[in-house]
Chain A
Amino acid sequence: MDSLEILDLHTSVEGNEILRGLSLTVPKGEVHALMGPNGSGKSTLANTLLGHPGYEVTRGDVRWKGESLLGLGPDERAKRGLFLAFQYPAEIYGVSVTNFLRMAQMARFGQACCFSDFHKALKQQMEVLEIDPAFSQRYLNEGFSGGEKKRHEILQMGMLEPEMAILDETDSGLDIDAMKIVARGVNRLRGPNIGMLLITHYQRLLNYIIPDRIHILMDGRIVLSGDKDLALELEERGYDWVRNGATA
């Protein structure tokens, strides 16, 4: 089966080792949640998986469908079906959401779908995420509120149809209503053709997106894995419970 395999991954940022032997497998068709306290390496993992040049892999491997991704640029990883929903999406002045999505689709699929199909799909995705149609002419992430940025990330996910999506703290900064909308958008994209790794600090997102597996990251490696109930237990007992040697 196609899967994302992270094998004994060590990553350094500016000489500091953040990931210290992280191993994790996310098969296509499953949703896994990665939880961990601040500073545990969650965002480092997200950036490393997409090949951010500032994150140096010093040991281990990342494989997607059996092929090592190390040495591939972020664009080549995207073309192979990987996607990252950013915690803090960059703002690009002067580039409209529509133009950007067209370009990204062309890069992802090697060709642009016809304009009317594109607009139909865009309209549909926007409706699910309750995004104002005028949004498509706005500049990319420019002046978007926190909630708009997050919804826009999920919109892109819908348009680019990745096979493996990493969602980095998609719930952060969202109020409960916005989170429900985002969760609905994500749930709608779930299926056998996509794997997801939900990175989150809090359990509450997992009330709305029920994961198949939950992993807990601490000090750069996975310390505990379990089913959806692990999140509830974690919520109740806190990260210290894990730190003190909990077992699922």
Chain B
Amino acid sequence: MSNSVSDLEIGSYERYGFHQPEKYLVKMDKGLSRHVVEEISEYKNEPSWMREFRLKALDIFLKFPMPTWGADLSGVHFDDIHYYVRPTEKPQQNWDEVPEEIKDTFVKLGIPEAERKFLAGVGAQYESEMVYHSLQKQWEEMGVIFLDTDTGLRQYPDLFREYFAKVVPLSDNKLAALNSAVWSGGSFIYIPPGVHVTIPLQAYFRINAQNMGQFERTLIIADEGSNVHYVEGCTAPVYSSDSLHAAVVECFAKKGARLRYTTIQNWSRNVYNLVTKRAVAEEDAIVEWVDCNLGSKTTMKYPAVFLKGRGARADILSVAYAGSGQHIEAGSKVIHAAPHTTSVIVSKSISRGGGRTSYRGLLKVLAGAVGAKSNVRCDALLMDEESRSDTYPYMDVKEEKSTLGHEATVSKIADEQLFYLMTRGLSQSQATALIVQGFIEPVVKELPMEYALEMNRLIQLQMEGSVG
């Protein structure tokens, strides 16, 4: 599939920076307490185990110190955040019942009418709650579950409980504990054995209230021999005060399953995006994280795969873009815990205007993981002298019979490249954008067509007015 750059229609940045007047049924006061957590659980009418889980998570959250080993998080003020906002009474099943205001938001997000019909399942998260959910009939017949996570808990309590918080335990890290205490929304997906979902499942996320955090929780289970691709794309309005996004994503790829999770993250530049994403891959399973980070003030995200079964494979492809005032720390974690497991990591970062990107990766090969193979490639593109890029690869190898490769490059856009493209009529910003698009092409080509176009559009927007 080729994504023709020339077919792009360059929009204006407002398209990505609009916001709706706030209209909520429930909006709790700012700040976090036992009372707030209990209220969330009660409001959702959850089973008692979940309520206890949340409270336990709260204790852990309060006990844990803020991580200081990565990006600067001193701007995160936990008392200044709304922990729960519910826009409508309950998730909508029927498009006609979705409030006009919210539909309007989708229009501005540029989700075309045709696409809504074409896409077999669209879960749209407006604020903290899924408001619209549709699932194509044939998938329902195949036994595919694609719900918002709250509904998933209600409708499939046993399945839910079997997997929930199993790969990201409560005590994993402070932000994951916070999510566990106040989580709301996200997607709950189950693919039965042998079922191949050929069209990506997609969710659109959005923050709309100032100082409102988003704590969605996603749980995906790909049963034996199944195949699924989940896509989340984020855009957010621009606000002046800081926001927090602390999601947790847990994925399970059973024997022979293939699970791909694609993210396009474009939060507004005031958001702290601190996300825990982790997957387990059993025998011969493939887990692929495709993670594109363009927005936010600060991102810390290290999609992880635990290669538990023989012959399992992890592919982690990421793009990080940091402009002025941004620090995007994207990375990966892979644990080879079984023989003949494979991991391929490709990280592409772009820093511009004093922005900073970091790659932080952990690669572990446990004793007994005979024949494990890992290849890590980190390419950084620095757009100017003020920008910065760092690589922190950590390796911990306990099995001698394993093969590891690590390669890192740092490059700049050469004057001769710009001159060459400009003699073909491209403006300096077009030429710059094209070079940047080429740089991230190995990752972008893995995106569904419309997202690849969106990515290229975002890159062009970032490059506009940046040079000259």
A86 touching B424 by the CB < 8 A rule? Answer: no
A141, closest chain B residue (CB): B420
Q: Which are the 8 A-B pairs with shortest beta-carbon distances?
A: A94-B438, A107-B425, A94-B441, A102-B6, A74-B422, A90-B420, A78-B425, A104-B424
CA distance A161 to B417 in the complex (A): 22
Select B417's contact among A47, A92, A112, beta carbons within 8 Å: A92
B296 an interface residue at 8 Å Cβ cutoff?
no
- 8 A Cβ contacts from A89-109 to B: 89-96, 98-100, 102-108
Enumerate chain B residues within 8 angstroms of A139, measured Cβ to Cβ: 438
A residues neighboring B (CB under 8 Å): 47, 50, 52-54, 73-75, 77-79, 82-84, 86, 88-96, 98-100, 102-108, 112, 137, 139-140, 156, 160
Question: Which of B5, B422, B425 has the largest count of A CB atoms less than 10 A from its CB?
Answer: B425
Question: 12 extra interchain contacts, Cβ-Cβ under 8 A, other than A94-B437, A94-B440, A108-B425?
Answer: A74-B423, A75-B425, A90-B419, A91-B417, A92-B420, A92-B438, A100-B434, A102-B4, A102-B6, A103-B426, A107-B424, A156-B424
B434 near A95 (CB under 8 angstroms)?
Answer: yes
Q: Are A95 and B422 in contact (CB under 8 A)?
A: no
Complex CA gap A140/B439 in Å reads 12
**A54 near B415: Cβ-Cβ < 8 Å:** yes
- A107 near B2: Cβ-Cβ < 8 Å: no
**Nearest chain-B residue to A89 (Cβ)?**
B420
Chain A proximity of B359: nearest CB distance (Å): 19
Contact, CB under 8 Å: B6 / A53:
no
> Interface centre among B6, B417, B427, by most A CB within 10 Å?
B6
Complex Cα spacing A42 to B338, Å? 62
The number of residue pairs between A and B whose CB atoms lie closer than 8 Å in the complex comes to 100
- For chain B, give the interface size range: 20 to 34
Partner of A92, one of B3, B427, B434: B434
B430 in contact (CB, < 8 A): yes
Cβ contact within 8 Å between A93 and B438: yes
Q: How far is the CA of A93 from the CA of B435 in the complex (A)?
A: 7
**Contact between B4 and A99 (Cβ–Cβ < 8 Å)?**
yes
Q: How far does the alpha carbon of A103 sit from the alpha carbon of B425 in the complex, in Å? A: 9
Cβ of B423 and Cβ of A77 under 8 Å apart? yes
Is B417 a contact partner of A96 (Cβ separation < 8 A)?
Answer: no
CA distance A236 to B312 in the complex (A): 70
Q: How far is the CA of A112 from the CA of B6 in the complex (A)?
A: 8
Interface string of B439-461 (1 = CB under 8 A from A): 11110000000000000000000
A-chain residues with CB within 8 Å of residue B428 when the two chains form the complex: 73, 75
**Most chain-B CB neighbours within 10 Å: which of A79, A89, A106?**
A106
